[in-house]
């Protein structure tokens, strides 16, 4: 697994991340770095992309989403957690972000009434916090981001491609971070 410290000028681990684990490990040392990682993800997330964020409370899922929004030209200050409404929609020009927070979802079928397919499989970019709550509705392909708490504002983000569709995006993110 390649390990990169965002804001640093070198890769800490090795190269050749796509010869094995197909994961990118990034160390973020601040909220600003996490925002920058989100902007980078947005740069390579095409229309119809699904990004699933896994991590405990306070690990930076909404901060990363703010960065993704910023990368799409959406004011990051307008992005707030949709915990009580399940989904918020943000748009800028012809780019749309669907931000789901499923923390309070009791059963996967509770999301059926929202018409989730239109969001997940439409033309916007979908970010899902707490995607494990989807159960049998989990998409077959997505960019997986695992966020882990470190000391102070330090976070470890592990990005991987679930399914073939996102392998190129992951490789481009890795290359961009290395340079």
pTM, rounded to two decimals: 0.86
Give the pLDDT score at 21. Answer: 54
Give the pLDDT score at 82. Answer: 73
Give the pLDDT score at 114. Answer: 81
State both tokens at 13: 């681990």
Q: How many domains does the chain have?
A: 1
| 142-149/125-129 β-pairing | unpaired
Q: What single string gives the DSSP state of each residue in the chain?
A: -EEEETTSSSBSS-S-TTTTT-EEEEEE-SHHHHHHHHHHHHHH--TT-EEEEE--TTSSHHHHHHHHHHHTT--GGG----TTTSEEEEEETTEEEEEEE-TT--SGGGGGGGTHHHHHTSSSEEEEESGGGGGGG--SSEEEEEEEE-STT-EEEEEEEESGGGHHHHHHHHHHHH-
CB 126 within 8 Å of CB 145: no
Give the pLDDT score at 5. Answer: 44
Give the bridge partners for 28, in sequence order: 155
State both tokens at 163: 């399914």
Give the pLDDT score at 10. Answer: 30
Find the CATH number of the domain harbouring 119. 3.40.50.300
What domain range is 165 assigned to? 2-178
Please, what are the averages of pLDDT over each run of 10 residues along the chain (179 residues)?
41 32 88 95 93 95 96 90 84 91 88 86 93 92 95 91 91 85
Give the pLDDT score at 131. Answer: 95
Give the pLDDT score at 65. Answer: 96
């Amino acid at each position: 697994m390649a390990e990169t410290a965002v804001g640093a000028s070198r890769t800490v681990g090795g190269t050749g991340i796509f010869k094995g684990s197909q994961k990118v490990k990034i160390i973020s040392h601040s909220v600003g770095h996490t925002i920058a990682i989100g902007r980078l993800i947005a740069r390579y997330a095409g229309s119809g992309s699904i990004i699933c964020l896994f991590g405990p409370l306070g690990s930076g899922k909404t901060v990363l989403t703010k960065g993704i929004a910023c990368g799409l030209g959406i004011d990051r200050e307008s992005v707030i957690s949709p915990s009580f409404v399940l989904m918020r929609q943000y748009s800028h020009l012809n780019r749309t972000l669907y931000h789901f927070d499923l923390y309070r979802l009791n059963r996967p079928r509770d999301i059926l009434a929202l018409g989730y397919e239109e969001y997940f499989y439409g033309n916007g970019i979908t970010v899902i916090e707490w995607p494990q709550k989807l159960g049998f509705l989990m998409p077959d392909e997505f960019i997986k981001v695992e966020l882990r708490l470190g000391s102070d504002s330090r976070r470890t983000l592990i990005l991987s491609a679930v399914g073939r569709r996102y392998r190129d995006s992951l490789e481009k993110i890795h290359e961009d971070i290395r340079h």
